[in-house]
Structure 1
């Protein structure tokens, strides 16, 4: 095996390990949200803010990631943000509401930067295997979310710290990821900087129609995902399910996303375009949400499996489009930053709206119905984003026409 092949293999493993620490900070909260509310006296709005503010932070901080990567190098920045994630997750459970909110927000800000830089690294170092590596990356994200959703409650029950012990545990794998990334990726990159050149700058994509289609598709599928991630356990606890079972249902949905996330991106990358894929995934999400709204206890395991297929596939396609619709690493970083900045800010309204509508109506039918209605624009923008084109073409054509 050549030196370049060994470096690519090591980088792939390290990316998967870092990716596995980009969702537990968020996915672990939902299953113990009722316990947090009872312990800290959070209202429904307060609980909604706890789940939505980190998602807002994912969007607000993402825009700074390309500049940080250019200034300091992606390897160094990713090492730093993983360290911040580990420290924030450990500290956020040490005190009351303020520390919990601040720690969650800081961790989400660090996650936002990694969210943007890793797809660009994949574009740069896995040019011939973008679909496969995106699948591995997305599978790690989904798998970690599944594990966090499924074991946070048992971890809480197994310690005398309750929900604090369950959430605080996730600082440990983040610390491990920091050590592995630093030793195997960042430090070797410092010794051989030509092996990992920084991303070059580029123009804005704010005037590019295709970039906005991808951004809105990514934002709407994220809105659906984070709303379910935040509130599905509460829906089933209100249906009479015990906390462990309610968390298990969310975990099953997340576990279903693992094979979908691994298989769909490389399959879709080989297709002529991705319109049919975006449509099929949205329809699966529609079926799952409809079941949860109409008969949540009728076939709960079927509903969460459908949600896992639809939301996992939609997320994987959203990430894949960052690479498929760009020609260069710099363009991938810019598109990733724009889509995640705007997309996560849009997505953050989901958990907040779901919680507020539930407080007002004392029912889950209305907020889940809203999520169903929002699938209509998701289909539209998914079809537009799925057509085979490249970002930047419209801007160049406009500039040439105006000359």
Structure 2
């Protein structure tokens, strides 16, 4: 095997290991919250903060990733991100509420950096595989997140909450080892005008960022409140939980299919319209006819399972270079996750204030309009420009094999 092929294979293995570690440290906590609360004496407010903190960290630290990549090199920054994830998981094993929150912040920072830099590595190392590899990453993130949540309680029963949290340090440590050789080979990229100028003046960049933010908000609101919504409409607790699981499971194959299909299209606006149509039908159905909830759950699974992978793919499709992809990813994920972090809280407050879900769901329905509008702008062919507002016409799409 030639040196170039070996490097490409090693980088691909590294990407797989990176994607596997970008959700498990978050999703493995919620199922053992009851034991954490008892063992560490957490209050209800502290538990609420603990569940919101990871999403806020994803937004708060995402903006640091492009600067870290420029300063140290992308591979070194990714190795550092995985080290933070491993260290954060280890810190949470200390039997202290302070250590639990600190470890969550450290791990969240590492995940935020990895989220942002993943598209840049795909763009640079595999420019003709953007669709399939983005889809593979989305599917691996969804699967590892679901796997971590499913194993948390059995691991807790077998060895306590420390074992349930500690086990995810193993794959992250393996990933650190895998990225070590890549980091040693990398050098910080030469500074360029495109990489150094802000994207804040680009309407296309703002469209991509807003579309990602609203897609994330819809997903996290439904993930947080769908079981409660269905229970309040007479669905048994167990069935309501299965409904949420079904919505998430529908998103796993779509996480692969949507990026592959999007990368093959010269114009992704038809996908944005399809996502918007499914979201309107699903949310509107919950308002008008909650009795046939399974129909709306399937539609919402298609909508949420397609929207975020599509937005993630657009980070690469609208970037003329890996450096711009990293900056656009940082910009979009900073705003997106911060917005998503406050979405479930706002919906819960509205529900408590009104005594029902109609106003909250109507708000989601209204937010579909800007999601589609900004999505249509983001999905038009073109590249963002760091120094000016107008998009650059895109070249003919590269065939994805």
Normalised by the length of structure 1, the TM-score is: 0.84
Change (3 A) 1:21 1:143: same
Q: Which residue in the other structure is 2:171 paired with?
A: 173
Deviating more after overlay: 359-368 vs 378-387:
359-368
* Cα distance, 1:230 vs structure 2: 3.3
- How many residue pairs are counted as aligned between the two chains? 386
Q: Does 1:202 align with 2:196?
A: yes
Q: Which residue in the other structure is 2:158 paired with?
A: 159
Normalised by the length of structure 2, the TM-score is: 0.85
Distance 1:178 1:358 in 2: 43
1:358-396 deviation per Cα after TM superposition (whole angstroms, max 9, x unaligned):
444454554344333322211111111111121118816
Distance 2:87 2:230 in 1: 32
Task: Specify the SS of the correspondent of 2:95.
Answer: coil
Change (3 A) 1:369 1:167: farther
* Cα distance, 1:251 vs structure 2: 3.6
Change (3 A) 1:280 1:227: same
Distance 1:94 1:237 in 2: 36
Q: Does 1:307 align with 2:284?
A: no
Change (3 A) 1:207 1:5: same
List 4+ stretches of structure 1 deviating above 6 A.
none
Change (3 A) 1:31 1:305: farther
Q: Could you list the runs of 5+ residues in structure 1 that have no partner in the other structure?
A: 399-403
1:268-317 deviation per Cα after TM superposition (whole angstroms, max 9, x unaligned):
111121111112123323444445556667444x5444333211211111
Deviating more after overlay: 55-64 vs 366-375:
366-375
Distance 1:138 1:335 in 2: 18
Change (3 A) 1:214 1:397: closer
1:317-357 deviation per Cα after TM superposition (whole angstroms, max 9, x unaligned):
11111111111111111111111112222121112213333
Contact 2:203 2:390 in 1 (8 A): no
Change (3 A) 1:203 1:131: same
* Cα distance, 1:236 vs structure 2: 5.9
Task: Specify the SS of the correspondent of 2:201.
Answer: coil
* Cα distance, 1:10 vs structure 2: 2.4
Instruction: Choose which of 328, 338, 342 in structure 2 pairs with 1:335.
Output: 328
Change (3 A) 1:294 1:103: farther
Q: Does 1:110 align with 2:130?
A: no
Change (3 A) 1:380 1:396: closer
Task: Specify the SS of the correspondent of 1:117.
Answer: helix
* Cα distance, 1:94 vs structure 2: 3.7
Q: Does 1:241 align with 2:237?
A: yes
**What are the within-5 Å matches in structure 2 for residues 128-147 of structure 1?**
128-147=128-147
1:16-64 deviation per Cα after TM superposition (whole angstroms, max 9, x unaligned):
2211111123333444556656774543x54443233322221121111
Q: Which residue in the other structure is 1:2 paired with?
A: 2
Contact 2:123 2:130 in 1 (8 A): yes
Contact 1:116 1:340 in 2 (8 A): yes
